[in-house]
């Protein structure tokens, strides 16, 4: 249910309430949105705040305007809202622990899948990623190569949804990771990569999964 907005609130709050109305199907996808005047009366705010909220939701793909006709809820508005919310969660540093936990659920299974299905080309890409990590000199270069093995392993599954999900999780956790590993830490990571790849080469799904779990811990 839409509620009046306090004068202290900003257009983001209006946007959130409109999104909730769409998610609850109070405002159906494809339906016409009330006019600015009507929304200003509903939310008890000025038209400027309404206009900002509408513009914000148009930019995010939730609403669209047809000149001379009006503003409508997009046909894929719910998917846009959910995708935008996921992006917000991934970009929030406070969710880093949840992101790491999600990786611990996803990546061991990807490692097991790779052991069962990875091609020689996939294995070669994983080996190439390890070689690049080995040749890294200094923390900055390691930071740009250390994630490549994880990416090559994920890509070997061939599932576009899983690959995209993994890359989002990995990129966020990599940004949130403190860049204070020593050379000993780096060597241990590389050793773990090699042990996972060996399990994949041996087509030992259980061992590949366990070694990935150990690495992430």
From first to last of its 217 residues, what are the pLDDT tens digits of the chain?
Answer: 666 655 446 788 999 999 999 999 999 999 999 999 999 999 999 999 999 999 999 999 999 998 888 999 999 999 999 999 988 888 888 888 898 899 999 999 999 999 999 999 999 999 999 999 888 877 777 777 878 999 999 999 999 999 988 988 888 777 655 555 566 678 888 999 999 999 999 999 999 999 999 998 8
Neighbours of 205 (CB within 10 A): 19
* DSSP reduced 3-state for 32: strand
State the burial class of residue 18 (Cβ atoms within 10 Å of its Cβ: 0-12, 13-18, 19+): buried
Q: Provide the whole-model pTM.
A: 0.72
Separation in Å, CA 89 to CA 2, 94, 126, 197 = 24, 9, 29, 31
CATH of 93-216, one of 1.20.120.530, 3.90.1200.10, 1.10.3720.10, 3.30.750.24: 1.20.120.530
**Would you state the pLDDT for residue 3?**
64
- The domain 11-84 having CATH identifier 1.10.10.10: the answer here is yes
pLDDT of residue 215: 92
In this prediction, residue 140 carries a pLDDT of: 72
For the chain, the structural domain boundaries read: 11-84, 93-216
Q: Which residues pair with 63 in a beta bridge?
A: 73
pLDDT at 184: 67
Q: Got the DSSP string for 38-85?
A: HHHHHHTS-HHHHHHHHHHHHHTTSEEEETTTEEEE-TTHHHHHHHHH
């Amino acid at each position: 249910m839409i509620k009046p907005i306090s004068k202290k609130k900003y257009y983001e709050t209006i946007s959130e309430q409109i999104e909730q109305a769409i998610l609850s199907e109070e405002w159906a996808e494809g339906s016409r949105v009330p006019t600015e005047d009507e929304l200003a009366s509903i939310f008890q705010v000025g038209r400027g705040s309404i206009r900002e909220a509408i513009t914000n939701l148009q930019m995010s793909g939730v609403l669209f305007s047809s000149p001379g006709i009006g503003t409508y809820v997009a046909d894929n508005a719910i998917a846009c809202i959910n995708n935008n919310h996921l992006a917000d969660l991934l970009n929030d540093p406070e969710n880093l622990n949840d992101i790491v936990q999600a990786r611990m659920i996803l990546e061991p299974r990807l490692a097991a899948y790779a052991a069962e299905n990875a091609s020689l080309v996939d294995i070669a890409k994983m080996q190439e990623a390890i070689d690049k990590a080995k040749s890294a000199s200094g923390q900055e270069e390691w930071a740009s190569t250390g994630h490549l093995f994880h990416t090559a392993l994920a890509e070997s599954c061939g599932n576009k949804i899983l690959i995209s999900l993994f890359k989002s999780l990995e990129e966020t956790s990599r940004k949130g990771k403190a860049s204070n590993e020593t050379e000993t830490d780096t060597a241990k990571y590389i050793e773990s990569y090699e042990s996972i790849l060996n399990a994949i080469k041996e087509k030992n799904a259980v061992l590949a999964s366990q070694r990935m779990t150990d690495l992430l811990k």
